[in-house]
Chains A and B, each alone.
Chain A
Amino acid sequence: CSSVPTAPAVISATPASQQRDQRLLAVTQFALEAKLAVQFNGKGYTARLQWQHTPATDQLRIFSPLGQQIALIDRSAESVTLTDQSGKQHHAGDVASLTEKLLGWRLPLTGLSQWVLGTPHPHTEYEASYLSTGEPHTLRQDGWQIAYDDYKPTILPEITESLPGLVRLQQDDIRLKLLIQHWE
């Protein structure tokens, strides 16, 4: 598998990248465990995530480095709810505005459900640079700059594909680093 990009990333899509994007359309659900580092205006923290994604729902458990679960985010077609440590429930129209209200920064979960696979979502335009083997090296969409590293062949329920091990996302002064530990 390609771990170190030999040739420099190519700006325009290639047959390999188009075929890969096509294959990834077959992925409708996944579950992953990851570590997340957040930085925004000089503050920040780290956390461990367990994320179950299906087309209709997302369930995200967030754990502190000290081990305890600190939040549960449930998204369905109609609502988005965050349950905090004291059992209080917070609602919002989408995950990004919910985390902005509670945590101070926007978690773009909708876009992330595609970006985490190393592919753009189909709803808005994007720019990308690609590795020779077709995986995106960088991606810019919805105002987020995304950089990928450590691609590895990964077995998902619906396909086996080269997926990123490290995803860095930046928008204004928010910097997220997502290290994916394993997929199910």
Chain B
Amino acid sequence: DGVDDLKRFYSATQAMRANFKQTVFDQKGRKLQEVDGTMMLQRPNKFRWDYHKPYEQQIISDGNQVFLFDIDLQQVTVRAVDKVLGTSPAALLAGGPAVETSFQLSRLVDYEGLQRVQAKPRQKDSGFQVVIISFDHGNLAQMRMVDSFGQTTQIVFSNVEVNPALNTAQFLFHPPKGVDVVGE
């Protein structure tokens, strides 16, 4: 079921690469934003999400620090990865096996042929009410996050590669010239 799939995802999938399409809906279900991009992760805590236009940004974690690079604004915000772990589903996917320390897992019924698990952040002010992760016969398929204002972010993965050989240099961030780098 979904919970087993998620646990297997953490143990068997040590690295992953995929394309994604992210759609954001407001509390009334109206579509607010749509963007696609590519993502990759390597346990523990290394991940990289490149969002394409019109919401171009890069979120890169080298395992210690997360670099949030907004390309349009030419500014990078740096945060410690543990500060982001409990609050960001991107970090949730790349986390170490102890996912249950940050999230409470419970099984959901299958939906549209996908096995699902619900993850509720244990950290009170994580900013998310719930994250629902869906698998297609063991392969990560979708993620749906409802934030504390009731807004839903849905991510659909495609071209998923499990345990590809990833060059760890891709998880290092080098700020381009002229870009402001600020801590939080």
List A12-38 residues whose CB lies under 8 Å from chain B.
35-37
The dominant DSSP class at the A interface is strand
- For B89, the chain A residues whose CB sits under 8 A away are 66
Asked if A37 and B70 make an inter-chain contact with CB atoms under 8 angstroms apart, the answer reads yes
Min C-beta distance of A58 to chain B, whole Å: 17
Number of interface residues of A (CB under 8 A): 28
List B51-78 residues whose CB lies under 8 Å from chain A.
54-55, 57, 59, 68, 70, 72-75, 77
Looking at the complex, which one of B54, B77, B153, B182 makes contact with A65 (CB distance below 8 Å)? B77
Q: From A42, A67, A70, A87, name the one whose CB has the most chain B CB atoms within 10 angstroms.
A: A67
**CB within 8 Å for A45 and B184 given contacts A86-B125, A177-B73:** yes
Q: What residues of chain A have their CB less than 8 Å away from a CB belonging to chain B? A: 35-37, 39, 42-46, 48, 50, 61, 64-70, 72, 83-87, 177, 179, 181
- For A44, the chain B residues whose CB sits under 8 A away are 75, 77, 180, 182-184
Q: From A48, A65, A72, A87, name the one whose CB has the most chain B CB atoms within 10 angstroms.
A: A65
Number of interface residues of B (CB under 8 A): 34
Asked if A46 and B153 make an inter-chain contact with CB atoms under 8 angstroms apart, the answer reads no
- Distance in angstroms between the alpha carbons of A181 and B72 in the assembled complex: 10
Asked if B180 and A87 make an inter-chain contact with CB atoms under 8 angstroms apart, the answer reads no
- For A69, the chain B residues whose CB sits under 8 A away are 127, 147-149, 151
- The closest CB in chain B to the CB of A69 belongs to B149
19 contacts between A and B (CB under 8 A): A35-B72, A42-B182, A43-B183, A45-B184, A46-B73, A46-B77, A65-B57, A65-B77, A66-B68, A66-B87, A66-B89, A66-B127, A68-B127, A68-B145, A69-B151, A70-B127, A85-B126, A86-B148, A181-B54
Besides A66-B68, A67-B145, 17 more A-B contacts (Cβ < 8 Å) are: A37-B74, A39-B180, A39-B182, A43-B182, A45-B182, A46-B73, A50-B32, A65-B57, A65-B77, A67-B22, A69-B151, A70-B127, A84-B125, A85-B127, A86-B124, A86-B148, A177-B75
